[in-house]
């Protein structure tokens, strides 16, 4: 069995944590030499050479904290530099532009939700603290109190985890004719009237896509719909990959624009599912493709090479998490919800469960020594580089 490498680099700090595995089956003595762009593992009966991607440069003279961890391999820390681009992710706000036609699809099954729609206004909604800010800054009562920002026809308003569109802009897929076309407005058939009744579900796969906010406004969660310019063909993205990408986008946005790093993930009904603590978003992971994390890729359908020598590079967000479904940490949950300023993120319950599963799978693919921190399950990595550009 060949040597395996897992190298985690903090871009800003220029520090690297290296784990060299696959040494167990080799005969001693083993001689390991580190150069700027490669590692060589020499034993009496084999010689492995791992060439690092060209974006990565090690500083061999800074190797320290060398330690062998049973079952994992050799842990080494050193200075390391990585020049790996991160600009591939586009947020929903960046994707949606006025004067261009867009089609919204159900991400789960590809059904068309909004067909070739051109919005005249695409505007961000005020943050949830906006009204309290107005009260602090104005000497008169908040003139906008109790008034909601709802989109008119051809408006699209963007929230942190959702977008609002007017029902008049939603249409059934062309060519889909059934008894729904007999109702006065086709959208009414998309909106379940039982409460739960405000839930908006996909007609084809019954996935919850959002909810009806008023008689003419629908809120869609950005984790449930895929937005594409109408001139681009629809491309299927695995559900797991899509959810991971959208969650990372949301966490990145909060951390950079509001310096918020703690999050409470809730379902539509207010049920708390997960506490998330974002530690950093500047980590790049270089890993042998046949090792660790990629085993979990069966779940997202990503193929990986069988070659133990090929190395994969990924941008990652490192975060801690605690699932709260069984209410095993009531004091911590209460503290987070009420004291720490953690931000609430609301998604459909199914998506919250998908996220917990995703975090658990990624956690299980880590070397054991990196999985936990105190009572927290130490989750790493979460990819930042899910390329959602239109192809
Ligand atoms: Zn669907």
Q: What is the CA(201)–ligand 1 centre distance, in A?
A: 8
Given a cut of 70, whether residue 129 has pLDDT beyond it is no
172-176, 246-250, 313-317, 338-342: least confident range:
172-176
Q: What is the CA(347)–ligand 1 centre distance, in A?
A: 16
What pLDDT shows up at residue 380? 46
Q: What is the CA(16)–ligand 1 centre distance, in A?
A: 42
72-86, 106-120, 221-235, 376-390: least confident range:
376-390
Which carries the bigger pLDDT value, residue 94 or residue 75?
A: 75
Which carries the bigger pLDDT value, residue 370 or residue 35?
A: 35
Distance CA 254, CA 249 (A): 9
> For residue range 153-163, what is the model confidence (pLDDT) as tens digits?
999 999 989 99
What φ, ψ does residue 194 adopt, rounded to 5°? -80, 150
Q: What is the CA(203)–ligand 1 centre distance, in A?
A: 7
Which carries the bigger pLDDT value, residue 28 or residue 59?
A: 59
What pLDDT shows up at residue 172? 58
Distance CA 167, CA 156 (A): 11
Q: Where in the chain is the domain with CATH 2.60.40?
A: 4-82
Split at pLDDT 50, 70, 90, the class of 60 is very high
Distance CA 96, CA 227 (A): 8
> For residue range 3-43, what is the model confidence (pLDDT) as tens digits?
889 999 999 999 999 999 988 888 889 999 999 999 999 99
Q: What is the CA(263)–ligand 1 centre distance, in A?
A: 28
Which carries the bigger pLDDT value, residue 305 or residue 278?
A: 278
Six token digits for residue 149: 């920002």
Q: What is the CA(113)–ligand 1 centre distance, in A?
A: 9
Q: What is the CA(358)–ligand 1 centre distance, in A?
A: 20
Given a cut of 80, whether residue 374 has pLDDT beyond it is no
Given a cut of 50, whether residue 215 has pLDDT beyond it is yes
184-192 average pLDDT score? 42
Six token digits for residue 167: 């029902």
What pLDDT shows up at residue 8? 92
What pLDDT shows up at residue 290? 57
| DSSP calls for 119-175 | -SEEEEPPPTTHHHHHHHH-SS--TTTT------TTEEEE-SSEEEEEGGG--PPTT
Q: What is the CA(182)–ligand 1 centre distance, in A?
A: 22
What pLDDT shows up at residue 109? 92
Q: What is the CA(102)–ligand 1 centre distance, in A?
A: 18
Kindly give, in sequence order, each residue whose CB lies less than 8 Å from that of residue 69, ignoring residues fewer than 6 positions away: 19, 75, 367, 369
Split at pLDDT 50, 70, 90, the class of 306 is very low
Given a cut of 50, whether residue 296 has pLDDT beyond it is no
141-169 average pLDDT score? 86
196-213 average pLDDT score? 88
What pLDDT shows up at residue 381? 42
What pLDDT shows up at residue 325? 84
Average pLDDT, the chain: 80
Q: What is the CA(226)–ligand 1 centre distance, in A?
A: 11
Q: What is the CA(254)–ligand 1 centre distance, in A?
A: 28
264-270 average pLDDT score? 91
Pairing state of beta strands 15-21 and 31-34?
unpaired
- Structurally, at CATH architecture level, domain 4-82 sits in Sandwich (2.60)
Which carries the bigger pLDDT value, residue 371 or residue 207?
A: 207
Distance, C-alpha 291 to centroid of its chain: 22
Q: What is the CA(350)–ligand 1 centre distance, in A?
A: 13
Split at pLDDT 50, 70, 90, the class of 297 is very low
Distance, C-alpha 147 to centroid of its chain: 32
Q: What is the DSSP letter of 63?
A: E
What pLDDT shows up at residue 248? 86
């Amino acid at each position: 069995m060949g040597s395996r490498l897992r190298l985690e680099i903090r871009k800003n700090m220029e520090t690297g944590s290296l784990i060299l595995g696959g040494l167990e089956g080799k005969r001693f003595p083993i001689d390991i030499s580190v150069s700027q762009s490669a590692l060589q593992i020499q034993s009496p009966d084999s010689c492995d050479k791992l060439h690092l991607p060209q974006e990565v440069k090690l500083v061999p003279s800074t190797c320290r904290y060398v330690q062998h961890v049973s079952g994992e391999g050799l842990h080494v820390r050193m200075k390391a530099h990585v020049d790996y681009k991160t600009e591939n992710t586009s947020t929903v706000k960046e994707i949606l532009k006025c004067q261009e036609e867009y089609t919204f699809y159900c991400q789960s099954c590809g059904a068309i939700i909004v067909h070739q729609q051109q919005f005249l206004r695409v505007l961000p909604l005020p943050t949830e603290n906006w009204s309290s800010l107005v009260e602090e800054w104005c000497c008169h009562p908040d003139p906008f109190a109790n008034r909601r920002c709802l989109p008119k026809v051809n408006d699209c308003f963007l929230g942190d985890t959702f977008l609002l569109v007017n029902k008049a802009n939603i249409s059934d897929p062309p060519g889909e004719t059934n008894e729904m076309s007999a109702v006065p407005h086709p959208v009414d058939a998309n909106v379940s009237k039982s409460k739960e009744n405000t839930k908006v579900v996909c007609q084809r796969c019954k996935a919850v896509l959002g909810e009806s906010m008023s008689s003419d406004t629908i809120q869609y969660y950005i984790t449930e719909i895929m937005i594409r310019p109408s001139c681009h063909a629809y491309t299927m993205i695995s559900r797991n990959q899509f959810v991971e990408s959208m969650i990372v986008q949301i966490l990145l946005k909060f951390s950079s624009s509001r310096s918020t790093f703690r999050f409470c993930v809730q379902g539509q009904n207010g049920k708390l599912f997960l506490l998330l603590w974002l530690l950093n978003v500047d980590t790049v992971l270089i890993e042998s493709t046949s090792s660790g994390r990629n085993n979990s890729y069966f779940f997202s359908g990503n193929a990986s090479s069988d070659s133990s020598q090929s190395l994969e590079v990924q941008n990652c967000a490192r975060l801690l998490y605690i699932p709260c479904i069984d209410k095993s940490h009531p004091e911590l949950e209460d503290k987070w919800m009420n004291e720490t300023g953690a931000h609430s993120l609301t998604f459909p319950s199914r998506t919250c469960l998908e996220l917990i599963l995703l975090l658990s799978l990624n956690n299980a693919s880590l070397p054991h020594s990196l999985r936990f921190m105190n009572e927290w399950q130490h989750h790493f990595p979460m990819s930042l580089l899910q390329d959602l550009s239109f192809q």
